[in-house]
Structure 1
Amino acid sequence: MHTEMRVADMRFLFFQLNIWLCLLSAATVAITGVALGVAPLSVGGGLLLAPLLFYFIYVEDRRGVTAEDEVNQPYRTKLVRRYQTELLVTELLALLGYELVVCLLVFRTGTANVSDLLFAQIPLVVLGSYGWLKRYPTLDSIGVGFTWAFVAVFSVVAATPQPYSLDGVTVFAGWFLITAAGVESRNIQDITGDSQANKTTLAGYLGPNAASLLVRLLKAGGVVVFWVVAGAFAAGLVLCYLLVLSVFRRLTRLHKGGPASETTQKSAGG
């Protein structure tokens, strides 16, 4: 019984800590490579950078339980507190893996240089200021959008001979729009809980309908950016990525209430 419960907890946390999103972040690196004319397989170890880094970032952020987490995610909050030690160990291992891969790219493969060691720490600086960013509407979206876009481009440049370029900046802009839209999409789901915790996001200011329109416009803008930079194939890959995200987000919403709510839903459904 205890083993089954732990498996159920792991499945719940896989969705509610967005671990699936961390794993899928490798796709953003691969798509970035395609957009910049680099074969995804040639990115090699660079494909590991985003999943490792985002696992550390997301778990660290979720471990710092906030007032709105208590309202929006009570069961997740309970499990995060129960498994504080396990989550801390895994996030530190992920961070260590991230730094090791960066060092290998710099000192062994030679595709990156010493300055990239410093660039690799930029997302961690953003993480350090994220608690402050979340106090202000839109800044959390900007912070997350910047981090995801930066890591997608940085991973390709650090792992291949591809230099920083104007196309790279444009691809950065595309991912920024798409990721910022994703943050606001999540904020739409949390409007009620955020309001109860005296936190107002951009989605809260705009309201669900206007915020949903903004999300669609931002995502469409991101796809258009990829179309302009790299053509229909790259834009199609981005659309496929967004489709996969939508499937996992739906699964995440189904797991929001925890095992008890799943049992209730199944019983209600016959």
Structure 2
Amino acid sequence: MRVADARFLFFQLNIWLCLLSAAMVGVSGLAMGVDPRSIGSGLLLAPLLFYFIYVEDRRGGTAEDEINQPHRTRLVRRYQRGLFVTELLALVGYELVVCLLVFQAGTATASDLLFAQIPLVVLGSYGWLKRYPTLDSIGVGFTWAFVAVFSVVAATPLQYSLDGAAVFFGWFLITAAGVESRNIQDISGDTHANKTTLAGYLGPRTASVFVRLLKAGGVAVFLAVSGPLVAGLVVCYLLSLSVFRHLTRLHRRGPSSETSQSTARG
């Protein structure tokens, strides 16, 4: 794989987002009264799972992907086999970590083996969820929020609690906002592909306000439950997402497009 292609896919497959999900788990642990260092291998669960989910989703491809992300679609097809191998390794790694937490560390229970499969069930139904406005946001928000809490509980002696439910709700609002923020950028392409998202129904301006309200609500939940320190860390997490999303937009058209644009400007 060419370095330029690898860099492009790192951003456009949201691999950076998968890596940052470890920070999300760490903040969740802090919000639930756990030292993030005690989570240990549980910090690997979210990055491994989300890498599998995102690569699998991108490999599937849709009509709107052809319109909104033509260069990404071409690269995904070109490196189809390699991406499949890496996503399979990520899934095996995820299941292996869960098994180690259950059978070796003893912090997780046999029921957690079943809970660990819930995100995969959501992934299996995601193609259906994307047909309906808001359901894709709800599905993604639920999955990310669930994994953030599950990773902490599975890796530590902590049990599910009201604090965990509050953390779940906070991340749910923030993650659902992230999905709609992305949908705002894809409104024209989605419309051309006869797909309507909540952002498409609301329009860019109203949807942007809605996204900000969801994120503010998520931060407010963490502030109410865990205080200003954790809320501040959540804000820092959101700021880091903004930086990477900006970099992702810069890589949206691909190296070839950037080169041709530079030539045209020259």
Sort the TM-score into its range (normalised by shorter chain).
Answer: over 0.9
The answer to whether residue 227 in structure 2 is matched with residue 231 in structure 1 is yes
The alignment partner of 2:104 has SS state of helix
Distance in 1 (CA, whole Å) between partners of 2:263 and 2:113 is: 53
Distance in 1 (CA, whole Å) between partners of 2:78 and 2:259 is: 22
The answer for the alignment partner of 1:15 in structure 2 is 11
Q: Structure 2: any 5+ residue segments left out of the alignment?
A: none
The answer for the alignment partner of 1:116 in structure 2 is 112
The alignment partner of 2:212 has SS state of helix
The answer to whether residue 38 in structure 2 is matched with residue 53 in structure 1 is no
Distance in 2 (CA, whole Å) between partners of 1:189 and 1:264 is: 23
**Equivalent residue in structure 1 for 2:217, among 218, 221, 224:** 221
**Equivalent residue in structure 2 for 1:163, among 145, 159, 163:** 159
Q: Per the alignment, do residues 217 and 108 of structure 1 end up closer, same or farther by CA in structure 2, a change over 3 Å counting? A: same
Pairs within 5 Å for 1:18-97: 18-97=14-93
The answer for the alignment partner of 1:99 in structure 2 is 95
Q: Per the alignment, do residues 107 and 68 of structure 1 end up closer, same or farther by CA in structure 2, a change over 3 Å counting? A: same
Q: How many residues align?
A: 266
The answer for the alignment partner of 2:133 in structure 1 is 137
Q: TM-score, normalising length from structure 1?
A: 0.97
The answer for the alignment partner of 1:205 in structure 2 is 201
Distance in 2 (CA, whole Å) between partners of 1:114 and 1:269 is: 61
The answer to whether residue 141 in structure 2 is matched with residue 125 in structure 1 is no
The answer to whether residue 248 in structure 2 is matched with residue 261 in structure 1 is no
User: In the alignment, residue 201 of structure 1 is paired with which amino acid?
Assistant: T
Shift of 1:260: 1.6
User: In the alignment, residue 141 of structure 2 is paired with which amino acid?
Assistant: G
Aligned sequence identity (%): 80
Distance in 2 (CA, whole Å) between partners of 1:169 and 1:149 is: 9
The answer for the alignment partner of 1:193 in structure 2 is 189
Q: Per the alignment, do residues 40 and 269 of structure 1 end up closer, same or farther by CA in structure 2, a change over 3 Å counting? A: farther
Q: Structure 1: any 5+ residue segments left out of the alignment?
A: none
1:142-180 Cα distance to aligned partner (Å, 9 max, x none): 000000000000000000011100010010000000000
1:33-86 Cα distance to aligned partner (Å, 9 max, x none): 010111111000000000000000000000001000000000000001111100
Distance in 1 (CA, whole Å) between partners of 2:230 and 2:259 is: 41
The alignment partner of 2:23 has SS state of helix
Distance in 1 (CA, whole Å) between partners of 2:236 and 2:262 is: 30
| RMSD between superposed Cα atoms in Å | 1.0
Distance in 2 (CA, whole Å) between partners of 1:262 and 1:101 is: 40
Q: TM-score, normalising length from structure 2?
A: 0.98
Distance in 2 (CA, whole Å) between partners of 1:210 and 1:265 is: 32
